[in-house]
Chain A
Amino acid sequence: MKRALTWMLAAMSFAVLGACGGGTDGGDSSGSVARGTIGFSAMTLKNPFFKIIADTMTAEAERHGFEVVVTDAERDVNRQSQQVDNFLASGVAAIVLNPVDRIAIGPAVRRANEAGVPVFTSDLQAVAEGVEIAGHVGTDNYQGGLLAGEAMIEALGEAGGDVLVLHFKQANSCVLRVDGFRHAIGEYNRDRTEGRIEIVAELEGGGLRDEGYRAMADGIQAYPDLAGVFAINDPSALGARTALEQAGRADQVRIVGFDGEIAGRQAIREGKIYADPIQYPDRMGIMTVQNIVRYLDGEDFERVHLIPTELYRQADAERDPTLD
């Protein structure tokens, strides 16, 4: 029976090793790439937005003779900084991050600086002290927030009303969006006594469908007179829509989202979301790779490039060829 035990051990080892070995085959082909490897640590690949960045980066890098290794930080800065260390150990040409925590990622970026490997950020910026970021490409989130405010004013019309914000405070990009949104609403309310728009609360929607749903369900109870909701991204906007439909309030409360990912645009076409300031993750991915190539070629480029958003309404969705 001792032998049975040993067999089991062997089987177990091989199961584990087999799993490792199977995975490594794909990674090994990286050695033959002409100009080197780019390491990318995405914020979370569960959100299609970051998946688009990863995919467009991979395609664009291939055109320039680079290979991209995509890793998922799963919103954990510890995991992200480990990924940076692993990139450094395997000798990448450049590192791209969507910083999970704009401050706590600092030490990891510093280690990359010390190793002479350039770090680029996309979408979210890092603000830790004493770190060098070679280049950043992101959305002009404040401008996007202003557009979201305009969309809300347009949606509510002269009547105005109470508005709820579904926030995700952990991400500075979302803080900027809400700042822009508040500014636009504040400008509208100035010198106005009738038809004002009041932001009654900011609830934490987590930027996710389920959390957005729960927050909205609570919001409906707490603020029965809601006329509008601004959700800082599409997943939480769609979660809010579900909650409103269940409460039978979907016709009275207008939703403004953010992102313009495919599910969001679909919802705009069906009239479930009023409008989105849309971002361009594909351009972000492409420009980031182009910046890396320019960096390695010794050319000058814009260190911080913010892509403006554009407002996307039902009429745009009806003309959108990417929706079927």
Chain B
Amino acid sequence: MPEGAGGSVGRWRRKLLDLLGRNLSVVVLALLCLISSVATWREQNPITSRSGGAVARQVLEACPAPCAVLVVARDTEADRLFARAIEEGLDGSGVRIAGRVFGQPRDVRLELERLAMVGGSLDAIATHRIASEWGPVRSARARVFSPGSYHWPTFLTARNLLNVVNQNADIAIIALGMTLVILTAGIDLSVGSLLALAGVITAVAAQEWFGGVAASPAGLLAAMLLGVTAAALGGLLSGTMVTAFRVPPFVATLGLMMLARGLALILAVGHQRRLVGGGAEGTPEAVRVDAAAFAWLGNGSVLGVPNPIVLMLVLFVAAHLLMTRTMFGRYVYAVGGNVEAARLSGVPVTAVLLAVYCLCGAFAGLAGIVDASRFEGGRPNAGELYELQVIAAVVVGGASLAGGRGRIAGTLIGAMIIAVIQNGLNIAGVASYEQKVVFGALILAAVLLDRLQPRLRRFRRKPL
């Protein structure tokens, strides 16, 4: 191999290749972000107080006093800030505010009709780019002022980046638990169903036992705890099958997957039937949770960061510490590396496996209450095919399906790689069928890489 031949250049290149190889998933993620940014390079029209001020300056320049201006904005928070900035910018300049509209195109039409009726003059309309396309604004006999736009990747907007992580926070949370299972050379197919079961149990409990609309935060918390506990027990069940009866994890969790899905559907339909007063069969719709506070976990935010992301980060740190700083973490790696060796060196293999499956179930349960909160109800159909997405995240994150190798941080990056691909394809408007092909290829590539690694390492040891 010629790489060593060129002296320092070769060494640098080797170092670079080494670094790339070790942090492959980070590199892939960065590349994907770059591609997504390029692919979503679009015109941006922000609605902020800054762009409002810019519109005010335009008006002052092109239509000085005594100019009559109509301010048009929608009835949203950002629009109101934008409109206030326009008015502040025009304040004291002698430009007259003829009217204000906070609403829909129809409201603009009505306001224009009113102005025409009272005979007031109108010289200009100050608004944002979106409303400048509205029919009544375009056909009004007045000059329209709106802020200039600029180009920037839609992918790299704060709103979109938060979307990307938020939409996949549940997958990432379950993937943490799945990493533990895969580290022990196991697999858990039941996570999607456990997610649904936890959500439905939480919703039914909140509605029927903890007061429905009037449920207190403590009651809701108790309902959530119930949901997570049920999912953890489900995990314990598969753990027992795997340890006590030597059932292959694939089969044990496949059984639980169907069982839990069925239970979730039965519970949901039963609840709907009680709602309509028995008799007719209920429908497998979401079990609605009426208590308003319930939506906070899934839809609220802390300092502008959506709660599911906060929860995901907290759990990530906890799982990372668990796997790198505790005895338990070392046991998990030991069991995955070589069960017999672990047993002989005194690792409580059965207890470790039970704990791992139980934790995986609990993580799925947590994702379930996030889902239920996000949709303000427990959905018996939630989480279908999640197991595959989750396993994909773990594998792409570099964990070996043969056990013993993989990191929590890798899993988080794996989940984000999948999230970024999905989002990039989504905002670029690619149909879901093509997305499936991309994901399939990605998983195959990741597994192939995993398979080839021991062979590569063997080659590396030979003198080149």
Contact = CB atoms under 8 A, between A and B. Distances in A.
A295 B109 CA distance: 11
Given A3-B17, A24-B39, A101 B285 contact: yes
Interface string B20-47: 1100100110011001100111111100
A90 B42 contact: yes
Interface in B90-115: 104-110
Interface stretch (A26-34, A228-236, A305-313): A26-34
B284 to A, nearest CB: 6
B376 A19 contact: no
Interface stretch (B204-212, B234-242, B345-353, B418-426): B418-426
Nearest to A76: B384
A277 interface: no
A202 B379 contact: no
Nearest to A110: B299
B200 interface: no
Contacts of B288: 103
A16 B442 contact: yes
A175 interface: yes
A251 interface: no
A12 B299 CA distance: 36
B74 interface: yes
Contact of A2 (B74, B284, B423, B460): B460
A110 to B, nearest CB: 9
Interface string B153-183: 0100101100100110000000000000000
Nearest to B24: A9
B376 A107 contact: yes
Interface stretch (B54-62, B127-135, B218-226): B127-135
Interface string A119-145: 000000000100000100000000000
A7 B255 CA distance: 41
Contacts of B157: 89
Given A107-B376, A169-B284, A88 B159 contact: yes
A17 B29 CA distance: 11
Given A3-B1, A8-B452, A86 B76 contact: no
B329 interface: no
Interface string B447-464: 011001000100110000
Nearest to A83: B426
A23 B376 contact: no
Given A86-B163, A298-B136, A107 B375 contact: yes
A81 B448 CA distance: 34
B285 A69 contact: no
A101 B45 contact: no
A24 B428 CA distance: 5
A5 B452 contact: yes
Nearest to B445: A12
Contact of B17 (A6, A23, A299): A6
A20 B425 contact: yes
A71 B442 contact: no
A180 interface: no
B249 to A, nearest CB: 26
Contacts of A106: 375-376
Interface of B is mostly: helix
Given A28-B428, A107-B375, A300 B106 contact: yes
B431 interface: yes
A175 B285 CA distance: 12
B79 A16 contact: no
Contacts of B27: 9, 13
Contacts of A134: 104
A298 B460 contact: no
B116 interface: no
A115 B160 CA distance: 14
Contacts of B130: 36, 91, 93, 116
B45 A91 contact: yes
B377 interface: yes
21 contacts: A1-B456, A1-B459, A2-B21, A13-B31, A20-B35, A24-B39, A24-B424, A24-B430, A26-B428, A36-B130, A72-B432, A77-B286, A82-B167, A88-B159, A90-B42, A93-B133, A103-B285, A107-B299, A170-B284, A295-B104, A297-B135
Given A2-B460, A27-B39, A103-B376, 19 more contacts: A9-B449, A12-B449, A16-B442, A20-B36, A23-B434, A28-B39, A30-B429, A88-B159, A89-B154, A89-B157, A89-B163, A104-B376, A106-B376, A128-B376, A170-B381, A297-B136, A298-B109, A298-B134, A300-B106
Interface of B: 1, 3, 14, 17-18, 20-21, 24, 27-28, 31-32, 35-36, 39-45, 74-79, 104-110, 130, 133-136, 154, 157, 159-160, 163, 166-167, 281, 283-286, 288, 295, 298-299, 371, 374-377, 379, 381-382, 384, 421, 423-432, 434, 437-438, 441-442, 445, 448-449, 452, 456, 459-460
Q: Which 7 A-B pairs have the closest CB atoms?
A: A297-B135, A298-B109, A23-B430, A24-B39, A116-B74, A27-B429, A24-B428
Interface of A: 1-6, 8-9, 12-13, 15-17, 19-21, 23-24, 26-28, 30-31, 35-36, 69-72, 74, 76-79, 81-83, 85-86, 88-91, 93, 101-104, 106-107, 114-116, 118, 128, 134, 169-170, 175, 202, 295-300
